[in-house]
Amino acid sequence: MIRKSPNEQSKLFNKKLVLQCIRTYQPISRAEIAGKLNFSKPTVSILVDELVQENWIHERGIGESSSQGGRRPIQLYFNEKAAYVIGVDIGGTKVKVAISDLSGNIICLRAFNTKKHLEQLMKMLYGEIFDMMEQSQIAEESVLGMGVGVPGIVETETGVVLEAPSLNWIRYPFLTESERYFSFPVYVDNDVNVAVLGEQWLGSAQKKDNVLFIAVGTGIGSGIIIHNQLYRGASYAAGEIGYLVTDKNDMKKEFKPIFHRYGYLESVAGGKAIGEKLTMAIREERNHPLYNDAITSELTGKQAFLLASEGDKIALQIVENALEHLAYGIINAASLLNPEVVILDGGVMKSADFILPRLQKIVQPYLPSSVGIHQSELGENAGVLGAISLFLREYDSILNAPNFC
Amino acid sequence: MIRKSPNEQSKLFNKKLVLQCIRTYQPISRAEIAGKLNFSKPTVSILVDELVQENWIHERGIGESSSQGGRRPIQLYFNEKAAYVIGVDIGGTKVKVAISDLSGNIICLRAFNTKKHLEQLMKMLYGEIFDMMEQSQIAEESVLGMGVGVPGIVETETGVVLEAPSLNWIRYPFLTESERYFSFPVYVDNDVNVAVLGEQWLGSAQKKDNVLFIAVGTGIGSGIIIHNQLYRGASYAAGEIGYLVTDKNDMKKEFKPIFHRYGYLESVAGGKAIGEKLTMAIREERNHPLYNDAITSELTGKQAFLLASEGDKIALQIVENALEHLAYGIINAASLLNPEVVILDGGVMKSADFILPRLQKIVQPYLPSSVGIHQSELGENAGVLGAISLFLREYDSILNAPNFC
DNA sequence: CTATTAGTTAGTTAATTTTATTAACTAAAA
DNA sequence: TTTTAGTTAATAAAATTAACTAACTAATAG
């Protein structure tokens, strides 16, 4: 007769705790784990032995005994090569794909053009990924799954992308589509949410339970971690910091709220808006060195910040106005959320040296001194690493994987 | 939470689940519980029998069998009179104390003047509570504990009130003091946090996991529930909606941020500010019916809204400006937090019929249609009920109580 | 300086306790 | 007779305690 254990999840739960403990405190001994988790020594021994059997951890070497003597401890290490995870960062211009080990070390990285393969995106993704796996000699069985960041609103429970303007997706059933190609589990979320998870895993927000991540790109978006959990909002609309109103009178004059998916703050401080304003301004200045560029095409937010930091007066004025709005946006958001850190990221942050001090000067008097404002640390690979982090989070524990040894 | 299978915690955990199940779905049978919780029938029977023994639940009557026959189920009911909880709402003018059963039915209610007993507040509280217990014939053993709401910043882990201007408390060790008088556990928190818990328990936010509660009184404060958990912030400063900046230019002209514990939004839309503005305005209008009152003393925010709803032009102008700021404050907060409901409360909400439609008109175009804006439902007893809810939450489960039967 | 011994810590083994399960029952209805 | 509610008895699994072995330090006697 098959009998269910008296609490199926219970042992697995404790095993996960032991693994988590080894992962964070490695190298660590069985005795130390027992102390930290308040488990008995035999329990730890059994769980550790199973974890070793399953190849999630390794015994390697022995530590020093304390000054008072005693048997020397056996060092346990997490086996970061026990399995691999795939991270995908779908952007408006390019799609980045990475395979990493369980510690976020990137094994293989590729990118392809979004627009060129938009019609066959999932197929292209499939091809690239299996090519990468072959190239890196990673077997399909050792791939736990995949995390994906998408520039739009994602219904995470169903994996449907409700809206992603830059990809022309409306109600695109990402998960259903991906299941036609991939046998491993896949998780999708908004790109900013993915980014803040990445920052908390490997970047500026490590060990922080309450994080506000602001991305200033074309528009302005934010990702919120509260109580160590991603907060997506009641209808996937939390963190719409681009919708903040920092000057209601100016807003009533200049802004039409009928625009869907475009808020006031982005209309005055978003990269696109800054670029447009700069373009317009320079078109009226025949002597400006960029006059011709401005006539032929639009200038970008990035260029505006670059010019400003070089001392260009027109750019400086536009940029400082935008920064002031952004600063009050941060003040508003931080007043409500009281995070431990505010992390800034996005295209315009290339000029962080110019931006951060100016923001800080305005923001500082209004916030508790404990709130730090920092730049994103992950840089280029933030997107894919965040996607990998999303997978690891949602998957809850690598221990859910079928044993593969 | 650590669950070790064959030790105390695991069984207790399951027992709590069963009790919770009965509490929410009563009347309910053993068989139904087994189905809902995916427990075996014997397990449920054992846990239920223990709960009956311990007097937390009752067997009462038998239900109907299904149309296909079968033995009729024994109905189980939660015993809301199994224990009692004390709620205390400390306000600037009066302290309200209530004893309620486990369902929030108030058994006994009293109030006393805050200022008069401020020096001996804890002693006074002690006297009143034990008098109430005697009067209601409630034994000390059946009192689980006490929840307290305080108008100030509270370090909830230690129970120290960091700052409560209206009580002249600075770093007042509430919990340490209370332990000198009360043998049962006590939990303290900020009054707005307490209020939102109350609303979620018995008011407008029942069954909502993400709630924004805004109290417009002298100042403006808010309480935030996210993922069904109170969010206090990294340094107990979350929800400072009174600090929002809704008009940065006006702010730079009119407002000095050096003021501690007083924000821009309260300075333009708080009850005190509205009262002051109205007073000033009427002092310049010799013919106004309230001219003499305004000369001799300050008018209040409540009065301003009353006058405005009666059509007084001066009041109307002041109040509508304030409401506009408040509306943009709500827009900002809701854009970031994307709550399921926004609940408004506080002194000025006496004129809710006047206020709500006006707010809604401004706010609606900017928020997802799913976000409802409602008035607080608990009214007079919101404070004490919230405090009781705080206790029941923090205490996690009434099952932690020592058995008393 | 070496050998012995006492004390300390790491980890294992064996017996036991607790919990929840399955299988098989009784009870009571259509 | 069939169906559902609830109980009883036997059993499996997880984690415990107690007692062990293993391996070390440090003190001390010779």
Task: State which residues between 22 and 81 of chain B bring their CB within 7 Å of strand C.
Answer: 38-43, 46-47, 62, 65, 67-72
CB B248 within 8 A of CB A247: yes
Q: Do A257 and B365 touch (CB under 8 A)?
A: yes
Strands of the sheet with B229-231, listed across from one edge: B229-231, B220-226, B211-216, B341-345, B372-375
* B214 DSSP β-pair partners: B222, B344
What is the DSSP code (8-state) at residue B28?
B
Exposure of A180 in the CB half-sphere (CA atoms within 13 A) = 10
What is the DSSP code (8-state) at residue B270?
S
* A229 DSSP β-pair partners: A226
Output the distance from B50 CA to D13 C1' rounded to whole Å.
23
From CA B208, how far away is CA B341, in angstroms rounded? Answer: 8
From CA A8, how far away is CA B404, in angstroms rounded? Answer: 33
- Tokens 């070793």 correspond to A52
What is the DSSP code (8-state) at residue A138?
-
Q: Do A338 and B236 touch (CB under 8 A)?
A: yes
CB pairs under 8 A between A and B: 148
A interface mutation test: which of B153, B335, B341 has the most A CBs within 10 A? Answer: B335
Model confidence pLDDT, tens digit, residues B46-74: 999 999 999 999 999 888 877 787 899 99
- Determine whether the distance from the CB of A9 to the nearest atom of strand C is below 7 Å: no
B73 touches chain A (CB under 8 A): no
CA distance to partner chain B, nearest, from residue A96 (Å): 29
Whether the predicted pLDDT of B328 surpasses 50: yes
From CA B378, how far away is CA B215, in angstroms rounded? Answer: 13
Query: In this structure, are strands A160-164 and A169-172 parallel, antiparallel, or unpaired?
Result: antiparallel
Residues of chain A with pLDDT under 50: 1-4, 258-259, 403-405
B196 touches chain A (CB under 8 A): no
A193 touches chain B (CB under 8 A): no
Answer whether A84-198 and A205-376 agree in fold. Answer: yes
Task: With CA atoms as reference, report the closest residue to B346 among B363, B328, B370, B322.
Answer: B322
Output the distance from A3 CA to D11 C1' rounded to whole Å.
9
Which chain B residue has its CA at the smallest distance from A249's CA? B247
Residues of chain A found within 8 Å of residue B211, distances taken between Cβ atoms = none
* Class of domain B8-78 (CATH, top level): mainly alpha
In this prediction, residue A3 carries a pLDDT of 41
From CA B285, how far away is CA B16, in angstroms rounded? Answer: 64
Nearest protein residue to nucleotide D17 (CA to C1' distance) is A40
* B372 DSSP β-pair partners: B341
Task: With CA atoms as reference, report the closest residue to A325 among A363, A354, A375.
Answer: A363
From CA B184, how far away is CA B55, in angstroms rounded? Answer: 20
Q: Do A248 and B246 touch (CB under 8 A)?
A: yes
In this prediction, residue B110 carries a pLDDT of 97
Residues of chain A found within 8 Å of residue B263, distances taken between Cβ atoms = 335
Task: With CA atoms as reference, report the closest residue to B161 among B240, B91, B149, B152.
Answer: B152
In this prediction, residue B166 carries a pLDDT of 92
Residues of chain A found within 8 Å of residue B3, distances taken between Cβ atoms = 7, 10, 13-14
CB A370 within 8 A of CB A129: no
The CB-based long-range contact list for B252-260 (8 Å cut-off, 24+ gap) reads B257/A365, B257/A366, B258/A365
CB neighbours of A63 closer than 8 A, spacing ≥ 6? A27, A29, A72, A73, A74, A75
For B338, the closest of A13, A235, A335 (CB atoms) is A235
Supply B175's token pair: 């919990």
B332 touches chain A (CB under 8 A): yes
Q: Do A237 and B209 touch (CB under 8 A)?
A: no
The region, left, alpha or beta by phi > 0 then psi within -120 to 50, assigned to residue A8 is: alpha
A59 touches chain B (CB under 8 A): no
Dihedral angle, C-alpha B310, B315, B320, B325, nearest 10 °: -140
Output the distance from A206 CA to D5 C1' rounded to whole Å.
53
Model confidence pLDDT, tens digit, residues B137-150: 999 999 999 999 99
Nearest protein residue to nucleotide C10 (CA to C1' distance) is A71
Nearest protein residue to nucleotide C23 (CA to C1' distance) is A1
Whether the predicted pLDDT of B251 surpasses 90: no
From CA A141, how far away is CA A128, in angstroms rounded? Answer: 17
- Give A 281-310 residues with CB within 8 A of chain B: none
For B370, the closest of A6, A235, A250 (CB atoms) is A235
* B155 DSSP β-pair partners: B160
In this prediction, residue B4 carries a pLDDT of 52
CA distance to partner chain B, nearest, from residue A295 (Å): 32
Phi, psi of B46 (to 5 degrees): -65, -50
Model confidence pLDDT, tens digit, residues B237-246: 999 999 999 9
From CA A2, how far away is CA B292, in angstroms rounded? Answer: 87
From CA B227, how far away is CA B187, in angstroms rounded? Answer: 21
Supply B358's token pair: 């006006």
Q: Please give the CATH number for the structural domain made up of B206-376.
A: 3.30.420.40
In this prediction, residue B49 carries a pLDDT of 95
CA distance to partner chain B, nearest, from residue A250 (Å): 8
DSSP element (H, E) containing B135: helix B121-135
Q: Measured between alpha carbons, how far is residue A240 from residues A224, A237, A260, B70, B333 in Å?
A: 10, 6, 12, 55, 10
- Superfamily of domain A205-376 in the CATH hierarchy: ATPase, nucleotide binding domain (3.30.420.40)
* Torsion over CA: A199, A202, A203, A206 (sign): positive
Report residue B401's pLDDT band, with 50, 70 and 90 as the boundaries. low
The C-alpha angle B334, B214, A266, rounded to 5 degrees, equals 25
Task: With CA atoms as reference, report the closest residue to B200 among B232, B219, B226, B235.
Answer: B226
Delimit the domains of chain A by residue range: 8-78, 84-198, 205-376
Task: With CA atoms as reference, report the closest residue to A169 among A123, A129, A119, A112.
Answer: A119
Residues of chain B found within 8 Å of residue A10, distances taken between Cβ atoms = 3-5, 10
Output the distance from A329 CA to D20 C1' rounded to whole Å.
65
CA distance to partner chain B, nearest, from residue A264 (Å): 10
Whether the predicted pLDDT of B3 surpasses 80: no
Task: With CA atoms as reference, report the closest residue to B358 among B369, B347, B344, B346.
Answer: B344
- Determine whether the distance from the CB of A30 to the nearest atom of strand C is below 7 Å: yes
Query: In this structure, are strands A341-345 and A211-216 parallel, antiparallel, or unpaired?
Result: parallel
Residues of chain B found within 8 Å of residue A261, distances taken between Cβ atoms = none
Question: What fold, for A84-198?
Answer: Nucleotidyltransferase; domain 5 (3.30.420)
Whether the predicted pLDDT of B304 surpasses 50: yes
Model confidence pLDDT, tens digit, residues B339-388: 999 999 988 888 888 999 999 999 988 887 778 899 999 988 999 999 99
Q: Do B234 and A38 touch (CB under 8 A)?
A: no
Q: Measured between alpha carbons, how far is residue A74 from residues A55, A77, A123, A373 in Å?
A: 16, 10, 47, 42
Q: Which nucleotides of strand C are protein-proximal, with an atom < 7 A from a CB?
A: 6-15, 17-24, 27-30
Report residue B260's pLDDT band, with 50, 70 and 90 as the boundaries. low
Task: With CA atoms as reference, report the closest residue to B345 among B391, B394, B385.
Answer: B385
Residues of chain A found within 8 Å of residue B222, distances taken between Cβ atoms = 336
Output the distance from A1 CA to C23 C1' rounded to whole Å.
10
In this prediction, residue B400 carries a pLDDT of 63
Residues of chain A found within 8 Å of residue B365, distances taken between Cβ atoms = 257-258
- Determine whether the distance from the CB of A64 to the nearest atom of strand C is below 7 Å: no
Q: Give one DSSP letter per residue of B290-301, joined into a string.
A: THHHHHHS---H
Report residue B5's pLDDT band, with 50, 70 and 90 as the boundaries. low
Q: Do B336 and A14 touch (CB under 8 A)?
A: no
B227 touches chain A (CB under 8 A): yes
Q: Which nucleotides of strand D are protein-proximal, with an atom < 7 A from a CB?
A: 2-19, 22-26
B222 touches chain A (CB under 8 A): yes
Q: Do B227 and A231 touch (CB under 8 A)?
A: yes
CA B336 to chain centre: 22
Round the average pLDDT of chain B to a whole number and report it: 91
CB neighbours of B67 closer than 8 A, spacing ≥ 6? none
CB A165 within 8 A of CB A152: yes
Residues of chain B found within 8 Å of residue A371, distances taken between Cβ atoms = 234
Phi, psi of A140 (to 5 degrees): -60, -35
Output the distance from B229 CA to C30 C1' rounded to whole Å.
47
From CA B110, how far away is CA B115, in angstroms rounded? Answer: 16
Query: In this structure, are strands A372-375 and A341-345 parallel, antiparallel, or unpaired?
Result: parallel
CB A164 within 8 A of CB A151: yes
From CA A347, how far away is CA A216, in angstroms rounded? Answer: 7
